[in-house]
Amino acid sequence: MLVSALAAPLAFAQPPRRIYRIGWPAIAPRHAFEHLVAALEQGLRDHGYVPGKDILIELRSAEGKMERYPEVVQEVVQSKPDVIVTGPNANTTAVKAATQSIPIVFAIGTDVIGEGYVKSLAKPGGNITGLTWDVGGGTVSKAFELLKEAAPRISRVAVLYEPPYHVVYRRAVEDGASAMKVSLVWLDSADNFERSIVQAVQERANAVYVMGGPRLFGRRAEVVALAAKHRLPATYVNTEYVDVGGLMAYAPNIATSFRGTARYIDKILKGAKPGDLPVEQPTKFDLVINLKTAKALGLKIPPSLLLRADRVIE
């Protein structure tokens, strides 16, 4: 009995398990990417962590206001998390400028070597690594090809962009348009999406290609509604646009990418250096088509295109 009494305190003397902290500074309002938070949480569970218990995701949002984002980044960096997760380049660039010591894992980087985030995909170096959205301009060209199949009569496409993505993908967009024999109208979305769409119509565009960007993504339902209002067939850079009524998208699944960041987080928390972890490129692209939207636009999607779709919304 005495031995048991002495042993009991020792059983409770084990140090508590460390609680890790993941910083996530975002530009878009949280409601716009709640599914991405859930994806990251599931990824962490896959690696044995319990979100809210032994690992905390500390997300701070600029609520769609770009001017507030530097302040949000500073708040996250000053809280000294174990790892910082970023989304598109606009996020990563600001965080990179704010810290060269805290590990950074991007979930949807684009042109990551050209942007100076990593030295190479195989050996990133520095404090940044993660998953890219792109595998080159072929993805963009394919999106044009698929849009032309869905809407054969289009002849002039308005490219709704958010800087700096028009710079990174301009050549790919132009090549894709040229291959499909359509002309382009380049429109900076700024914050007035309706003005941009009206301008597209005034410049005789009869289709839209919506590029990437956190502000566009955060207000995707508004962008989709405007395209529908002006009866413009549109293809989008993320499948989430199709889920809220967009016509079609050909792109990697970004929820899968955010879930995949957990692999990097797990390795970093176990001692790996970000610079030693190779950057991962997407291997699967989803073609998603909204038949309800196609019908509203008077489009008959070819059966051959529907057969290639990964998901059809009816």
In this structure, the answer to whether residues 191 and 260 fall within a common structural domain is no
In this structure, the answer to whether residues 158 and 80 fall within a common structural domain is no
Residue 160 lies in a domain: yes
For residue 212, what pLDDT is reported? 79
For residue 193, what pLDDT is reported? 86
Q: What is the mean pLDDT of residues 244-258?
A: 95
- In angstroms, the CA 19 to CA 174 distance is 49
Q: Comparing 95 with 88, which gets the higher pLDDT?
A: 95
For residue 183, what pLDDT is reported? 95
Residue 13 lies in a domain: no
- CA quadruple 26, 136, 204, 207: dihedral sign: negative
In this structure, the answer to whether residues 163 and 205 fall within a common structural domain is yes
Half-sphere exposure of 136 (CA within 13 A, CB side): 3
Residue with tokens 């008077």: 298
For residue 1, what pLDDT is reported? 44
Q: How far is CA 277 from CA 39, 81, 123, 126, in A?
A: 21, 19, 7, 10
Mean pLDDT of the chain: 91
Return the percentage of the chain with pLDDT > 70, whole number: 92
Instruction: Look at strands 286-290 and 248-251 and give their pairing.
Output: antiparallel
Is the pLDDT at 5 greater than 80? The verdict is: no
In this structure, the answer to whether residues 125 and 261 fall within a common structural domain is yes
pLDDT tens track for 164-184: 666 667 888 898 899 899 999
- In angstroms, the CA 34 to CA 19 distance is 23
In this structure, the answer to whether residues 175 and 257 fall within a common structural domain is no
The domain in which residue 101 lies consists of: 18-133+253-276
In this structure, the answer to whether residues 142 and 81 fall within a common structural domain is no
Residue 242 — left, alpha, or beta (φ > 0 → left; ψ -120 to 50 → alpha)? alpha
Q: Is 85 exposed, middle or buried (0-12, 13-18, 19+ CB in 10 A)?
A: buried
Q: What is the mean pLDDT of residues 37-66?
A: 95
Return the percentage of the chain with pLDDT > 90, whole number: 74
CATH number (domain holding residue 227)? 3.40.50.2300
In this structure, the answer to whether residues 223 and 239 fall within a common structural domain is yes
* pTM of structure: 0.87
Q: What is the mean pLDDT of residues 286-310?
A: 97
Other C-beta atoms closer than 10 Å to the C-beta of 42 total 14
For residue 164, what pLDDT is reported? 67
Closest C-alpha among 150, 79, 107 to residue 298: 150
pLDDT tens track for 97-146: 999 999 999 999 988 998 999 999 999 999 999 999 887 677 888 899 99
pLDDT tens track for 188-212: 887 688 889 999 999 999 999 998 7
Q: What is the 3-state secondary structure (H, E, C) of 106-125?
A: EEEECCCCCCCCCCCCCCCC
Our count of domains for the chain comes to 2
For residue 191, what pLDDT is reported? 66
For residue 2, what pLDDT is reported? 44
Is the pLDDT at 3 greater than 50? The verdict is: no
Q: Where are the beta strands (DSSP E) in the chain?
A: 20-26, 55-61, 83-86, 104-109, 128-132, 156-161, 183-188, 207-210, 234-236, 248-251, 286-290, 311-313
